[in-house]
């Protein structure tokens, strides 16, 4: 017997109108050596982000002339966000200070203990009323790249933007423990 579904059944599955990719908030925490006091958590103008990916490797186990696949180790990919530059350049300055804190531009020295520069970041997906519907916490992160900010006389009617890439040790979400 064929499976039949009507438009009413389909629409009923989208309570709240479905999750919207343009309704989100990214929270950045900065190490104490970069920002001080109440300034350690900031939400900057994040133009684009993503929920991060993870991959489970496959281990091939030979068995009687055939390979059996079993799950291997989990890996967490780097995470990149696109930032809009404000006129004070506060966001970019903070990311650059964080990288300088880990390894100085001039001194080539920095903090030795990873706990001093690791920070947790988060991405909240929001509903159309601004309520959080899904949270992903990125754990033990640090920036590995503050991307270029392109300038040009022909860039009229645009806001300057740049990317920041973070190393992520692992992440949790509302769907994981």
Q: Which domain holds residue 169?
A: 16-54+61-173
pLDDT in tens, 57-95: 999 999 999 999 999 999 999 999 999 998 889 889 999
pLDDT in tens, 82-132: 999 988 898 899 999 999 999 998 999 999 899 999 999 999 999 999 999
Coil, strand, or helix at residue 45? coil
Q: Which residues pair with 18 in a beta bridge?
A: none
Cα torsion 89, 143, 124, 158: sign? positive
Question: Any idea what the CATH number is for the domain that residue 118 is in?
Answer: 2.30.110
* pLDDT bracket for residue 142 (50, 70, 90): very high
- CB proximity list for 92: less than 8 A, separation 6 or greater: 83, 85, 146, 149, 162
Q: How far apart are CA 124 and CA 27, in angstroms?
A: 8
Residue 119 within a domain: yes
pTM of the model: 0.86
Residue 120 within a domain: yes
Of 119, 121, 99, 120, give the one whose Cα is nearest residue 111: 99
Alpha helices in 103-152 (DSSP H): none
Count: domains in the chain: 1
């Amino acid at each position: 017997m064929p499976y039949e579904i009507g438009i009413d059944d389909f629409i009923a599955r989208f309570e709240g109108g479905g999750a919207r990719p343009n309704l989100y908030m990214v929270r950045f925490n900065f190490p104490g050596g970069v920002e001080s006091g109440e300034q350690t958590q900031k939400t900057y103008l994040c133009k684009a982000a993503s929920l991060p990916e993870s991959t489970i490797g496959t281990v091939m186990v030979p068995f009687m002339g055939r390979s059996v696949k079993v799950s291997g180790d989990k890996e967490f990919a780097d995470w990149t966000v696109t930032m809009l530059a404000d006129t004070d350049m506060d966001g970019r300055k903070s990311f650059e200070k964080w990288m300088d804190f880990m390894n100085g531009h001039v001194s080539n020295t920095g903090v030795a203990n990873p706990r001093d520069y690791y920070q947790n970041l988060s991405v909240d997906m929001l509903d159309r009323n601004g309520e959080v519907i899904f949270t992903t916490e990125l754990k033990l992160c640090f920036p590995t790249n503050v991307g270029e900010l392109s300038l040009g006389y022909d860039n009229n009617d645009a806001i300057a933007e740049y990317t920041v890439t973070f190393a992520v040790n692992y992440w949790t979400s509302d769907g994981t423990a």
